[in-house]
Amino acid sequence: MLTRLVVVAVLAAVVAVVAWRARRPADTTDAAGRRVPSELVGDTDRTWIVFSTPFCATCGPVEEQLRQRFPEHDVRRADVEQWAATAIDLGVRRAPTVVRVDRAGSVDLVLAGPDAVRGHLGLAALT
Amino acid sequence: MAEAPTPIDPRGPRFNQAVLATALVVGFLLDLPAVAPVFAVVLLLGAALGPRYGPFLRLYAEVIKPRLAPPTEMEDPRPPRFAAAVGVAFLGSASIAFLAGAAGLGWALTLVVAALAALSAVTGLCVGCEIYALVARRRGLTLTA
């Protein structure tokens, strides 16, 4: 029994270490002021770029909420694999991460994760 | 391309994984090899037939979820189902090992499942789901909901 307890303790320690290293990043990044490629920038005063992945189930609702809330702005979807260099430069580690840029492509707002977007838009839920 | 399935509350699979990890560890501590085939069947029901047939997925959906706030994130159901299928393969192999008298191998396979299930339950990092994601990307499969 003691041996088994030791095995379980070691297993728990390994899981704890991996869990610590894999913990979620904060909901914001320090990307403000950086620029995104012109292909991602629309013709409006502000463009919302939704960085997504093929498995992101909340990216679609987030994109739709942004379109409804900001009809005067362009809303675009960017797959993080297709735009890997940009995503890395902006510190994108969660999907969706929403980036708002001006006409020049300069980032002035970054919202990482659906909770951050929900909080910014004052929504109760994105489901 | 097949139509994308309805997204699910990711807390359901995580609850399932928490129960799985706990049961497998308790089974190991008490030297109960039957825990492997029993939970192989539990996982198989959810993976093959859907969440309605997974006992703990159904427990979450009918008893626990109504008492919680709405989920803030949803996920594609296919990666966790694939992960459950991987768990079935491991626990099935463990069951065969136990039957063949190779208890050490049986427990090793069982504890691999327990560790991965615990990791997924605690962090949401689902290794089986990541494997599915890799395969899906190579096939050009889009799973966005």
ipTM of the complex: 0.74
What is the distance, to the nearest Å, from the Cα of residue B141 to the centroid of all Cα atoms in its chain? 22
* pLDDT tens, residue by residue, B69-95: 877 667 778 888 999 999 999 999 999
Chain B positions touching A19 (Cβ under 8 A) are 119, 122-123, 125
Residues of A whose CB is below 8 A from B139: none
Cross-chain CB nearest to B70 (options A19, A81, A127): A127
Residues paired with residue A107 on neighbouring β-strands, in sequence order = A101
Flag if A11 and B115 touch (Cβ within 8 Å): yes
Instruction: Give the side-chain half-sphere CA count within 13 A for B108.
Output: 5
Residue B42 in tokens: 């539990």
Indicate if the alpha-carbon torsion angle B32, B36, B39, B41 is positive or negative. negative
**pLDDT of the residue at B105:** 97
DSSP codes joined into one string, chain A: -HHHHHHHHHHHHHHHHHHHHTPPPPS--S-TT-B--GGG--SSSEEEEEEE-TTBSSHHHHHHHHHHH-TTSEEEEEETTTTHHHHHHTT--SSSEEEEEETT-BEEEEEESHHHHHHHHT-S---
pTM for the model: 0.69
Tokens of B59: 């427990």
What is d(CA B6, CA B26) in angstroms, rounded to the nearest whole number?
34
Q: Which residue has the higher pLDDT, B8 or B74?
A: B8
pLDDT at A123 over 80: no
Query: pLDDT tier at B1 (50, 70, 90 boundaries)?
Result: very low
Residue that the structure tokens 């960017």 belong to = A78
One-letter amino acid of A45: D
Give chain B's contact residues with A (Cβ, < 8 Å).
7, 25, 28-29, 31, 70-76, 79, 111, 114-115, 118-119, 122-125, 129, 133, 136-137, 141-145
